[in-house]
Amino acid sequence: MLSSTRELLETARRHIYAIGAFNIYNLEGVRAVVSAAEAVQSPAMLQIHPSSLKYGGSPLVSLCLEAARSATVPISVHLDHSTSAEAIRFALEAGMNSIMADGSHLPYAENLSFTREMTQLAHRYGAVVEAEIGRISGTEDGLSVAEKEAKMTDPVQAGEFVRATQVDALAVTIGNVHGEYRSEPRLDFDRLIRIGETVGKDMLLVLHGASGLPAAMISRSIQLGVCKFNVNTEVRQAYMHTLQSDICNARKADLLPCMEQSIAAMQQVVIEKMQLFGSGNKAHLHQTPYAQMLTNTVR
């Protein structure tokens, strides 16, 4: 069932678990996430990165929305890390539930201005807006941020930012990175506590770079208010490993068995993440399908 991102995240926060937001690129990825969610009765988010949106366009968005509508568990569709007003408007007009207006690469004042403008636009469509304060290092889908450019979220600035922009969710930087962790992860939970105090109890907190974080850090983050984790690297690796396997590399390999194997491999990773985030067997906690088009929606 196509569900509201707000409802998914608020319910997760209230019941102290988190929603997995999984980056998808194609039919195999969509099927892996939805099948995993149905298998363990978990809510989930299908998340489209700007590079995937540019590549797949309307057909990819339509695929995600239809898969969400047809699912037996709550699923929402989200635009991830968008720096483009044009792409955000496209996603909203296509019916996506939520968007990330990512101005983290901009100076603070410009980030605030861009985020506020995109929030006003998205709210007219009834969509949830995620933003980012601080900058996460690492690489995702060809976009890289060097460690020297990364900056942890300033709690005081975070509070000012959310009040000025009226965003619904905030992605925080507390030592998390995109891609693989090259050393033992170290998350600044004291900083996360201070951020929670300054942004207020109603702010939905998000942590990117969940691939590779140990269970204890995931659990502590959830206890401190994080209700959404972004996952990409490990699912993508499962897909790539399958393509390199004998079933796909055989001289006369059939495409369908290769696709089915890739779905199974990604599905297993997604299930493990859902169990780690505590969202398994939580589908029943969520409300009935999302009314996608609100009466005040602007087209």
- 81 a known binding residue? yes
User: What are the contacts of 35-40 at 24+ separation with CB within 8 A?
Assistant: 35/263, 35/267, 36/267, 36/268, 36/270, 36/271, 36/274, 37/71, 37/73, 37/75, 37/270, 37/274, 37/283, 38/71, 38/72, 38/73, 39/267, 39/271, 40/271, 40/274, 40/275, 40/279, 40/280, 40/281
Burial 56-70 (b: 16+ CB within 10 A, else e): beeebbebbbebbee
179 is in an annotated binding site: yes
pLDDT at residue 166 tops 70 = yes
pTM of the model: 0.90
| pLDDT value for 200 | 95
Domains assigned to the chain: 5-285 (3.20.20.70)
Residue 16 CB coordination number (10 Å) = 12
> Which position has the token pair 């949830």?
128
Average pLDDT over residues 147-165: 85
Please name which of 140, 117, 138 lies closest in space to residue 21, comparing C-alpha atoms: 140
pLDDT of residue 254: 87
- Clarify whether 246 is annotated catalytic: no
105 among annotated binding-site residues: no
pLDDT at 176: 83
Chain segment 27-73, per-residue pLDDT in tens: 999 999 999 999 999 999 999 999 999 999 999 999 999 999 999 99
What's the pLDDT score for residue 297?
Answer: 45
Q: Between these two residues, 96 and 296, which has the higher pLDDT value?
A: 96
Q: Is 211 annotated as a binding residue?
A: yes
The active-site residue out of 80, 154, 202, 246 is 80
Q: Confirm whether residue 102 is marked as ligand binding.
A: yes
Output 295 or 94, whichever has higher pLDDT.
Answer: 94
Per-residue pLDDT averaged across 144-170, rounded?
A: 82
pLDDT tens-place string over residues 256-280:
999 999 999 999 999 999 999 999 9
- Residue 84 known to bind ligand: no
